[in-house]
Structure 1
Amino acid sequence: MAINLDNVEPIDPTAAEYASLMSDLQGNILKAHGRDHTAHVFIRFGPDVAAAASWIGHFAETHITSAKRQHEESLLYREADIAGTLFGNLYLTARGYQALGLRSLPNDPKFRAGMKASGRALHDPDPKLWEECYRDDIHAMILLADDIEALILRETRRLRHEIEHNRAGTVLGVEFGRVLRNKNGYPIEHFGYVDSISQPLFFKTKSDSATVSASSPQEWNPYGPLSLVLVQDPNGETRDSYGSYLVFRKLEQDVRGFELATRQLARAIGMTERESDHAGALVIGRFPDGHPITTTKEQPVDNEVSPNDYLFNDFNYARDDGTKCPFHAHIRKVNPRGDSISPARRRYGPLRELEAERRHRIVRRGIPYGRREIEPKDKPRLEELPTNGVGLLFMCFQSDIQEQYEFLQARCANDEQFPVAKTGVDPLIGQGGNGQSQLWPKGWGEPTTTPFNFMGYVHLLGGEYFFAPSISFLKKLSQSAGRQGRPSPYR
C-alpha cells in the first residue's frame, strides 16, 4: 500500500509501513541531524562522467546517513548517551543532474531554473556580487556533520583529495558551521536569539510530542504532513523512494549594526538602552531566550525553561492586533499563524483556510558560521561585536520551492503590505521594498506607534537550489558507471 503523504497525524518512524521510506531517505530532512559541527562541500563535476558517477555511488555506500540510521542513533544517544557516527548527505543541483548526463530530473521548475533565476523576484543582490564559490554553476553539495570538529576537518581534507584524485570533479569551496549556545546551553544565532524553535514536526516520539502538552489549549499544532517536505524521487528504485528540495543561502550578519539599531529603536519608542532586549524582541518576535513577545511583556529573569517547551510555540496571533508583536516582526511575517487568512487581512486568493497557510511552512536546518573572539553568551561590548565574517548557513527543506521558501521570502518577508497595509518589510531578512519605515508599538499592547526603518543587517553572499535524492538512486550511479565501460575504482 502506498504511503499517504497527506496524513496530518505524526508518524511512527519504526512502523513497518515506513521501513522502506526511512531506509531510502537521506537523514536531516524529517529530523535535524543534531551535531555541533558541519562542513558544506561544494563540487563541480569534471568531464569524466563515469568517474563522477562512480564516486557518488561510493560516497552513498560509505557516508550517507539514512533517516532510519539517524533515528536509531538518536535513540541510542538519548537512552545510553552514545554518540552517533559521522553524518553525511549529498545533494544535487539541476546542473549537476545534467552534468551527469541524466535526463530524468526532479520536476520543480524553480529547482530546474536555479536560484539565480529567481533573483529579481526575491530582490537578491546581483550574483556578480556573491562570493566566488557561488557565482558559477555548482553541481553538488556534500554535508558532513559531527560533534568533533577535528574529525570534520580531517574528513573534509580527505574528501577533497578523493574527489580530485579520482577525477570526479573540483571542490569549489567549503563552508564550516558551528553551533553557538547561550548560557543555558540552547542553540542560538549570532544576534544572540535562540534558534530552531517552531519547526514542523513529523515523528510521534517522546521528544517531539513534548512540545504539545495534554493540558495545553493547542493554539498552534506543530505537526505537518510528510507532503510538506517529501516528493517522489523520479530516479528512485522503489515506490517508497523519496527526496526533498533544499534551499541553501549563505547569510552574513552585521552583529554590531544590529545591536546599534536595536538600541536606537529602543530610544525611538521611549525605552532605555537597557531595555533593548524588548526592542530586539519586537524585531524578531521573540526575546533572546525564545519567549514570544505576543504572550509576555518581558523576558523572565533567570529563565531555565527549555525553548522546546510547548509554551514557546503554542500560540497564535488571534488576540494580537500588532500592538504586542508587530505584524512585521520576523517570526510573524514568515509564520503568520492565521494572520493571512483573517477576512480583514486576506490578500491572496489561495489562503482561505489555516491549513492552506500552513502549507507554506519550511523545515529549517541552518547552522551559524564564523569565529568570534567573544561569543554572545559572554556578553561582549559593542565594540567587540563583529560587523562581517559571521552569519548563518541557512538551509531549508520543502516539497515546493515556489510555494514554500520563495513564497515566504517574496510574498511575506519582502512584501511591505503583508499581512496588512503599511506593514513594511521583515526587519531581519526582508529585501527590496521602497524604504518604508515600519511602525513600532511604543508600549506593549498599546496602539500608539512610532516609525523607524529597521533593515539591512543580514546580507546574502550566495546560494543555490538542490535536491536530496533517494539513497538507492545515488548508489545506482556507481553501478551504471561500471556498465558504461569504466570500472569503479572503489569496487
Structure 2
Amino acid sequence: MEILELKDIQGIIIRGYSNLPAAAFLLLRISDPTLAKKWLHVVSPEITSGEERKPELALNIALTFNAMAALGLNKQVLDTFPLEFEDGMITKHKQLFLGDFGESAPDNWEWGGKNTDEVHILLMLYATDAGALQNLQDKHIAQLGRYGLSEVTKLDTSVLYERKEHFGFQDGISQPTIKGLSRQDEPENMVSTGEFILGYKNEYNQYTPTPTAGDKDAAECLPPSKAKLGKYDLGKNGSYMVFRQLKQDVELFWNYMQKSTQKENGESDAKEMVKLAAKMVGRWPGGAPVIVCPDEEIKDHNNDNKFDYRSVDELGLRCPFASHIRRSHPRDALDMDRLASMKVANKHRILRRGRSYGQPVTEEMKPQDILQVKDIQGERGLHFICFNADLGRQFEFIQNAWVNNPKFNGLHDERDPIIGNHHYPSDHKTTGTFTIPDKTLRKRFTDVPEFVTVKGGAYFFMPGIRALKYLSCL
C-alpha cells in the first residue's frame, strides 16, 4: 500500500476539520502577481497539513486555472492541466453537464459567474469558535492589499443542530474512506487514494494524469514525474476542488411536501409529509436509510451506511430509483453484477467537505416547526465542497450521468428531486416529477419545483504544500 505524504497534503482533504466548527471562505482576486507570489511565500508556513490531527486553527489555499496563469505558469505547464479544470463551470457545454439553467444559470451567479469579478484564490479559514475565527480573518484580510490581493467576497458558514442541513436531514453520513489512511471500513467503501489525491494509484490501478513542470525551480521544489521523464510533478499531493454555493429554499421544500400529502379534507398529514421527503432524499431526517426503514424512522439505524440497493430492493419499492442518495452513489444498483457495480461506482466517488451557511429556520429544523414560521427571512444553504482527482470522471459524471439524467436507472423523465435542475431548454418545462414505485399502484408526484439554486461556483486546484512553494517562486 502506498504511504501518504501527509506533511505535503493540505489538511482539509484529509481531516475535514470536524473539531473546528467555525469557518469562513475568502474569495480573492490577484491585482499584482509579483506581490501575490510574495503573499504565497509568507502565508505558506501557516498552511495546515494533513499531518496535524486536531489543530486549533486551520488555513488552506486553493487556486483557479486563471490564478496560476496570472502567477506566471507558462502555457506549456498550463497545458498539462485537464481541460475540465481549464474550462471551468460557466461555458455553455458545462451548463449542460452540470444542469445550471433557470435561476441557477451562471448569468445569475453572485460570484464566479459571467457577470462577476474573476476569482483567483480561495483562502479557507477554520477555528474552534467565532472569536478565534474573527481574529484569524482580521489578520489575513488586513494584509491583502499589501500583497496585491483584493477580496471578491467572503462566504460565512453556520453550525446546525446535530449535523443537519437546512432541510432538516442529517448530512455527511456516506463518505468514502481513503485506503492510504489508517482508518478501516467495509471493503466496498475503501477507495484508492488516487481517486482523490494526485500522485497515487486510482481504482484503475493507474496514476491519474497530473500537471508537470520542467524548469530549475521545479527541480528544486517538486518530486520527479512518474509519467514524464525529465519533468517534475506539480500535482503530487494535490487535488481538484469543486466549490458551489447552493441556496436552499426550506419554505418551498416543506410546503411542497405538505401540499402533496394532505388529506382529502385538506388537513396536513405530518407522517406522510415527512415520509415523502425521506423517499426523495433516501434517508429519514435522523439519517436512517429508507432502504433499511422504508415506512418509518428507526433511530437505531440513524448512522447506517452498510446497505445495498438491488440485492434487497430491485424494484425500488423501499428506496425509489430517483431518490437523491440512490442516484448520487448507486452502490450495487448499476446494470451489472454486485461486485462489478460496486467497483464502477467507486470510480465516481467524491470527498465532501462542505459547510452550511445562514441561520436555520428553527433551531432543530423539525418540519412542523418550520411550517409554523411565517414570513421566513434571510438566505440559507450549503457551500458544497468536494475533492476529486478527475473532475470529468468524478464530479461532472455524477452531475451529468446520475443527478440530472432523466433516464437514470430505467426512469423515463425524472431528475434528482432534491438538487436536480428542471429548466433544461430541451425539456420545455420548469418543474420535475418523482415516482414512488409500489406493488399495486405507484405514486407519481408532479410539478416538483427546484428546492436548490446555484448562487456561485468555481473549480480550484489545491496544490501540495511543496507545489505552493514552487508557485511562489515563479
Where 2:460 maps in the other structure, the secondary structure is strand
Where 1:39 maps in the other structure, the secondary structure is strand
Match of 1:90 in 2: 61
Aligned partners of 1:262 and 1:276 also within 8 Å: yes
* Candidates 266, 278, 283, aligned match of 1:286: 283
The farther-off stretch of 422-431 and 190-199 is: 422-431
Q: What is the Cα deviation at residue 173 of structure 1?
A: 0.6
Q: Measure the CA separation in 2 of the matches of 1:94 and 1:403.
A: 19
Matching residue's letter, 2:131: A
Q: What is the Cα deviation at residue 327 of structure 1?
A: 0.7
Q: What is the Cα deviation at residue 285 of structure 1?
A: 0.4
Change (3 A) 1:167 1:267: same
Question: What percentage of aligned pairs have identical amino acids?
Answer: 26
Match of 1:32 in 2: 16
Q: Is 1:123 aligned to 2:120, yes or no?
A: no
Where 2:260 maps in the other structure, the secondary structure is helix
Q: Measure the CA separation in 1 of the matches of 2:61 and 2:124.
A: 6
Aligned partners of 1:252 and 1:390 also within 8 Å: yes
- Alignment of structure 1 residues 387-402 onto 2, 5 Å: 389-402=379-392
Change (3 A) 1:428 1:268: farther
Matching residue's letter, 2:175: Q
The farther-off stretch of 248-257 and 365-374 is: 365-374
Match of 1:313 in 2: 306
Q: What is the Cα deviation at residue 261 of structure 1?
A: 1.1
Count of residues in Structure 1 that have an aligned counterpart in Structure 2: 425
Q: Measure the CA separation in 2 of the matches of 1:352 and 1:398.
A: 21
Q: Measure the CA separation in 2 of the matches of 1:424 and 1:366.
A: 26
Matching residue's letter, 2:109: W
- Alignment of structure 1 residues 418-429 onto 2, 5 Å: 418-422=408-412, 424-429=414-419
For structure 2, the 5+ residue unaligned runs are 200-210, 214-220, 225-232
* Candidates 149, 167, 183, aligned match of 1:169: 149
Q: Measure the CA separation in 1 of the matches of 2:344 and 2:402.
A: 15
Q: Measure the CA separation in 2 of the matches of 1:119 and 1:442.
A: 31
Q: Deviations over 1:260-281 (max 9, x none)?
A: 1112233489992333221111
TM-score by length of 2: 0.82
* Candidates 333, 350, 371, aligned match of 1:382: 371
Match of 1:354 in 2: 342
Q: Is 1:53 aligned to 2:32, yes or no?
A: no
Where 1:357 maps in the other structure, the secondary structure is helix
Change (3 A) 1:328 1:40: same
Match of 2:316 in 1: 322
Where 2:133 maps in the other structure, the secondary structure is helix
Q: Deviations over 1:95-127 (max 9, x none)?
A: 000010112246221111111121233221332
Change (3 A) 1:28 1:306: farther
RMSD (Å), alpha carbons = 2.8
TM-score by length of 1: 0.79
- Alignment of structure 1 residues 61-460 onto 2, 5 Å: 61-62=45-46, 64-69=47-52, 71=53, 73=54, 84-103=55-74, 104-105=77-78, 107-117=81-91, 118-124=94-100, 125-132=104-111, 134=113, 135-164=116-145, 166-182=146-162, 187-202=163-178, 208-209=183-184, 212=186, 221-232=188-199, 234=212, 237-239=222-224, 241-267=236-262, 272-300=269-297, 303=299, 307=303, 311-320=304-313, 321-342=315-336, 353-372=341-360, 374-377=362-365, 380-384=369-373, 386=376, 389-422=379-412, 424-431=414-421, 432-433=423-424, 434=427, 435=429, 437-441=432-436, 448-460=442-454
Q: Measure the CA separation in 2 of the matches of 1:300 and 1:120.
A: 36
Q: What is the Cα deviation at residue 446 of structure 1?
A: 5.7
For structure 1, the 5+ residue unaligned runs are 5-16, 74-83, 213-217, 344-350, 482-491
Matching residue's letter, 1:129: N
Matching residue's letter, 1:32: G
Q: Measure the CA separation in 2 of the matches of 1:376 and 1:401.
A: 35
Change (3 A) 1:132 1:357: closer
Q: Measure the CA separation in 1 of the matches of 2:435 and 2:261.
A: 10
Q: Measure the CA separation in 1 of the matches of 2:36 and 2:413.
A: 49
Q: Deviations over 1:280-315 (max 9, x none)?
A: 1111000011111011124446x36662xxx33333
* Candidates 456, 462, 469, aligned match of 1:462: 456
Q: Deviations over 1:205-252 (max 9, x none)?
A: 78x43x64xxxxx7xx22110111111463662258321000000000
Aligned partners of 1:341 and 1:352 also within 8 Å: no
Q: What is the Cα deviation at residue 154 of structure 1?
A: 2.3
Q: Measure the CA separation in 1 of the matches of 2:378 and 2:447.
A: 21
Q: What is the Cα deviation at residue 253 of structure 1?
A: 0.3
Match of 1:13 in 2: none
Q: Measure the CA separation in 1 of the matches of 2:263 and 2:322.
A: 17
Q: Measure the CA separation in 2 of the matches of 1:141 and 1:473.
A: 16
Change (3 A) 1:31 1:265: farther
Q: Deviations over 1:71-105 (max 9, x none)?
A: 3x3xxxxxxxxxx2211110000000001011224
Matching residue's letter, 1:59: V
Where 2:382 maps in the other structure, the secondary structure is strand
Aligned partners of 2:7 and 2:49 also within 8 Å: yes
Q: Measure the CA separation in 2 of the matches of 1:441 and 1:175.
A: 37
Change (3 A) 1:318 1:399: same
Change (3 A) 1:149 1:133: farther
